[in-house]
């Protein structure tokens, strides 16, 4: 329910809005095998997200929540896959805890609001792990066929990493248990064939759009092969140096990114990972352990991703489901143990402090950053009172109490983010605000001209009119149509534009700030005005 509210927030620049624009253009142009972004060839991401968004647009119409819906459904399916996979090896209680953890971390919230390709990658990888684990246990053909479907769709979501994660998991399993014969099964050939069939439409589109046109210039060079880019350069090229994408990440970038994106469970994951690795080392000679796929894939893929020369926080999202299983196994072991480990006691106390700090953040938001209506303030106070009751007076065990205080604080945080914080922040995202405004005031066949440099995918997604970028005085003067010409400019350029024609009038002033780049200067009401870039909408 909380995530459903968040799905109705305006889209956020840059990536999510960009993917929504591509989906909208694909839906209107019916170009499903060849992908374009504002008329230019697009090669960066595979098309599964765009395809499913088009289906959603066909059923529900073009909207931000319709764009998010397929990803949200995929996440729900991925969470179900976590339950089935975990239940294969551990108790049902462990599986339920894994579901709670998976559903209630920052990454899951982001995957339903700031939608990227990682949601579908995460879900289909988890589904393939579940099905391949079933196959490894029973050798039934249907499971490897379904596992191959999962891997194929994961690759359609974000490339070869959708194959690498499951393969890495089972390589770790077979090596750890010395199951050498498991590397050679005739069913793998059928799985590869299924994956190839699923990838065939996309591969044909890439070949037709790029490989047949070596004259096209992409990434500052001619002759870019769409097939080679998808199957090699986009993933492995960032490690080998073949790809020119490099943002010089610090050595621990993915580590501290994972800590906040797996919050509020990242504190408890630390002792869980230590215990899991210690258990696997202890039992290595005998191989006496239910499975090593989960921790093996987590560690090896984390190291693989950390070697990339281009890193973003959401790169670890597919590993969150594995981390949830590791954490759930640890918490359930503590629950069933007559005595809690000293390591758990230390991190449990840290967790309590961390959850109190969440409420400190909430009070800071509603009483200072964006003062909230009285009813919201009362709700937060009641939630905090309930939290304090659970922490000090509720007569339940340590592990149920850990789950309780973590979930109540996280749910309250998401609720405030959905209905108060982000709606307040999004008022200053000029692209989405202006796009909706133009649909209300613009006559048919109107055009919006962007004077100089201002790029916003949200404006393109929400606006129904053509947008002309990088306009100068000469181009604007040649295209003035009475009552149908709008111009977006900086406040300092208003006089230049009005010198072209004195009948160009100011319609509205916008205080612009990117919601994905929050700073204390913006969050602090006393300095907020210093963080804005002012934009002006003019009309002829």
* pLDDT per residue as tens digits for the range 388-424: 999 999 888 889 999 999 999 999 999 999 999 999 9
Between CA 177 and CA 187, with CA 182 as vertex, the angle to 5 degrees is 155
**Looking at the structure, do residues 296 and 360 belong to the same domain, yes or no?**
no
- How confident is the model at residue 48, as a pLDDT? 97
pTM of the predicted model, to two decimals? 0.92
Report helix angle 92-103 to 64-89, nearest 10.
Answer: 160
**Looking at the structure, do residues 124 and 172 belong to the same domain, yes or no?**
yes
Helix intervals (H) in 312-471: 317-336, 342-364, 374-392, 398-416, 422-426, 430-441, 457-462
Which of 28-37, 205-214, 245-254, 260-269 shows the lowest mean pLDDT across its residues?
245-254
Ranked by mean pLDDT, the top range of 126-140, 453-467, 495-509 is 126-140
**Looking at the structure, do residues 145 and 252 belong to the same domain, yes or no?**
yes
**Looking at the structure, do residues 175 and 245 belong to the same domain, yes or no?**
yes
Q: Are 181 and 173 in contact (CB under 8 A)?
A: no
The CA distance from 416 to 361, in Å, is 11
For 138, other C-beta atoms within 10 Å of its C-beta total 11
452: left (phi over 0), alpha (psi -120 to 50) or beta: left
Which of 115-119, 216-220, 522-526, 535-539 shows the lowest mean pLDDT across its residues?
216-220
**Looking at the structure, do residues 449 and 382 belong to the same domain, yes or no?**
no
325 three-state secondary structure: helix
- Between 19 and 478, the more confident residue is 19
**516 pLDDT above the threshold of 90:** no
Taking 3-state DSSP, the helix, strand and coil percentages for the chain, each rounded to the nearest 5, stand at 65, 5, 25
Segment 446-473 mean pLDDT: 87
The CA distance from 339 to 143, in Å, is 40
- How confident is the model at residue 307, as a pLDDT? 83
Segment 247-272 mean pLDDT: 90
**Looking at the structure, do residues 18 and 89 belong to the same domain, yes or no?**
yes
Segment 126-134 mean pLDDT: 98
Place of tokens 């095998």: 33
**Looking at the structure, do residues 268 and 415 belong to the same domain, yes or no?**
no
Among 396, 426, 456, the domain boundary falls at 426
- Identify the CA nearest to 57 among candidates 110, 16, 21, 11: 21
Q: Which long-range contacts (CB under 8 A, 24 or more apart) does 71-76 make?
A: 71/111, 71/112, 71/115, 71/119, 71/120, 72/3, 72/4, 72/7, 72/111, 72/112, 72/119, 74/119, 74/120, 74/123, 74/124, 75/108, 75/111, 75/112, 75/119, 75/122, 75/123
- How confident is the model at residue 401, as a pLDDT? 93
Structure tokens at 171: 């390589």
Q: Are 51 and 95 in contact (CB under 8 A)?
A: no
**10 pLDDT above the threshold of 90:** yes
**Looking at the structure, do residues 65 and 138 belong to the same domain, yes or no?**
yes
Interstrand relation of 217-218 and 221-222 (parallel, antiparallel or unpaired):
antiparallel
467: β partners: 448
Task: Report in angstroms the alpha-carbon separations of 161 from 108, 117, 235, 305, 323.
Answer: 19, 12, 7, 10, 17
Query: In the chain, what percentage of residues exceed pLDDT 90?
Result: 74
Q: Are 411 and 496 in contact (CB under 8 A)?
A: no
**249 pLDDT above the threshold of 90:** no
How far is Cα of residue 267 from the mean position of the Cα atoms in its chain? Answer: 21
- Identify the CA nearest to 89 among candidates 344, 316, 303, 322: 322
Q: Which of the four pLDDT bands, split at 50, 70 and 90, describes residue 310?
A: confident
- How confident is the model at residue 478, as a pLDDT? 87
Helix (H) or strand (E) holding 51: helix 48-60
**Looking at the structure, do residues 256 and 369 belong to the same domain, yes or no?**
no
- How confident is the model at residue 234, as a pLDDT? 78
**Looking at the structure, do residues 421 and 439 belong to the same domain, yes or no?**
no
Among 426, 442, 463, the domain boundary falls at 426
- How confident is the model at residue 217, as a pLDDT? 82
Q: Which of the four pLDDT bands, split at 50, 70 and 90, describes residue 244?
A: low
The CA distance from 35 to 429, in Å, is 27
- How confident is the model at residue 360, as a pLDDT? 96
The CA distance from 291 to 53, in Å, is 36
Among 410, 426, 442, the domain boundary falls at 426
The CA distance from 154 to 148, in Å, is 10
**Looking at the structure, do residues 407 and 459 belong to the same domain, yes or no?**
no
Segment 318-335 mean pLDDT: 95
353, burial (CB in 10 Å: exposed 0-12, middle 13-18, buried 19+)? exposed
The CA distance from 16 to 1, in Å, is 21
**Looking at the structure, do residues 405 and 417 belong to the same domain, yes or no?**
yes
10 three-state secondary structure: coil
**241 pLDDT above the threshold of 80:** no
- How confident is the model at residue 193, as a pLDDT? 97
**243 pLDDT above the threshold of 70:** no
**182 pLDDT above the threshold of 70:** yes
Rounded to 5 degrees, φ, ψ at 469 are -85, 160
Segment 209-213 mean pLDDT: 91
Segment 78-105 mean pLDDT: 97
The CA distance from 50 to 54, in Å, is 6
- How confident is the model at residue 293, as a pLDDT? 96
pLDDT single digits (tens) 135-147: 999 999 999 999 9
Segment 439-466 mean pLDDT: 88
- How confident is the model at residue 176, as a pLDDT? 94
Structural domains of the chain, count: 3
Domain that holds residue 485: 430-539
The CA distance from 68 to 440, in Å, is 24
Segment 114-126 mean pLDDT: 94
- How confident is the model at residue 54, as a pLDDT? 97
CATH of the domain at 529: 3.40.190
């Amino acid at each position: 329910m909380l995530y459903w509210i968040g799905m109705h927030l305006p889209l956020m620049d840059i990536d999510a809005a960009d993917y929504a624009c591509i989906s909208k253009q694909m839906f209107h142009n019916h170009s499903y095998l060849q992908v374009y972004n504002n008329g230019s060839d697009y090669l960066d991401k595979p098309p599964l997200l765009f395809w499913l968004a088009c289906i959603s647009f066909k059923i529900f119409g073009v909207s931000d929540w319709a764009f998010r819906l397929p990803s949200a459904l995929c996440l729900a399916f991925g969470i179900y896959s976590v339950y089935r996979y975990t239940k294969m090896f551990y108790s049902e209680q462990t599986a339920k805890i894994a579901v709670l953890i998976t559903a209630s971390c920052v990454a899951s919230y982001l995957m339903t609001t700031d939608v990227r390709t990682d949601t579908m990658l995460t879900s289909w990888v988890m589904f393939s792990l579940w099905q391949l684990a079933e196959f490894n246990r029973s050798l039934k053909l249907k499971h490897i066929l379904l596992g191959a479907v999962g891997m194929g769709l994961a690759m359609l979501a974000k490339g070869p990493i959708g194959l690498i994660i499951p393969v890495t998991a089972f390589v770790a399993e077979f090596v750890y248990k010395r199951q050498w014969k498991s590397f050679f099964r005739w069913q793998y050939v059928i799985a590869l064939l299924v994956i190839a069939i699923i990838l065939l439409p996309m591969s044909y589109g890439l070949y037709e759009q790029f490989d047949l046109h070596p004259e096209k210039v992409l990434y500052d060079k001619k002759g870019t092969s769409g097939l080679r880019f998808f199957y090699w350069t986009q993933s492995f090229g960032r490690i080998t140096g073949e790809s020119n994408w490099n943002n010089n990440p610090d050595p621990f970038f993915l580590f501290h990114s994972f800590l906040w994106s797996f919050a509020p469970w990242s504190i408890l994951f630390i002792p869980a990972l230590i215990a899991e690795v210690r258990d696997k080392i202890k039992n290595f000679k005998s191989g006496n352990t239910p499975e090593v796929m989960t921790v093996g894939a987590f560690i090896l893929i984390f190291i693989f991703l950390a070697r990339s020369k281009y890193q973003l926080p959401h790169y670890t999202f597919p590993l969150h489901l594995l981390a949830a299983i590791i954490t759930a196994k640890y918490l359930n072991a503590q629950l069933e143990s007559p005595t809690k480990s000293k390591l758990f006691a230390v991190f449990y106390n840290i967790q309590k402090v961390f959850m109190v700090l969440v409420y400190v953040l909430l009070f800071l938001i509603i009483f200072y950053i964006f003062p909230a209506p009285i009813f919201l303030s009362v709700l937060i106070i009641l939630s905090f009172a309930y939290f304090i009751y659970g922490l000090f007076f509720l007569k339940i065990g340590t592990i149920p109490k850990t789950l309780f205080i973590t979930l109540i604080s996280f749910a309250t945080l998401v609720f405030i983010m959905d209905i108060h914080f982000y709606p307040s922040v999004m008022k200053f995202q000029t692209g989405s605000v202006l796009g909706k405004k133009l649909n209300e005031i613009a006559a048919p066949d109107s055009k919006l001209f962007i004077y100089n440099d201002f790029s916003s995918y949200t404006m393109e997604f929400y606006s129904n009119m053509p947008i002309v970028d990088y306009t100068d005085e000469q181009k604007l003067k040649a295209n003035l149509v009475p009552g149908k010409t709008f111009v977006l400019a900086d406040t300092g350029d208003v006089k230049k534009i009005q010198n072209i024609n004195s009948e160009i009038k100011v319609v509205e002033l916008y205080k612009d700030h990117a919601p994905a780049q929050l700073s204390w200067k913006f969050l602090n009401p006393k300095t907020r005005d210093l963080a804005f870039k002012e934009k002006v909408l003019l009309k002829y």
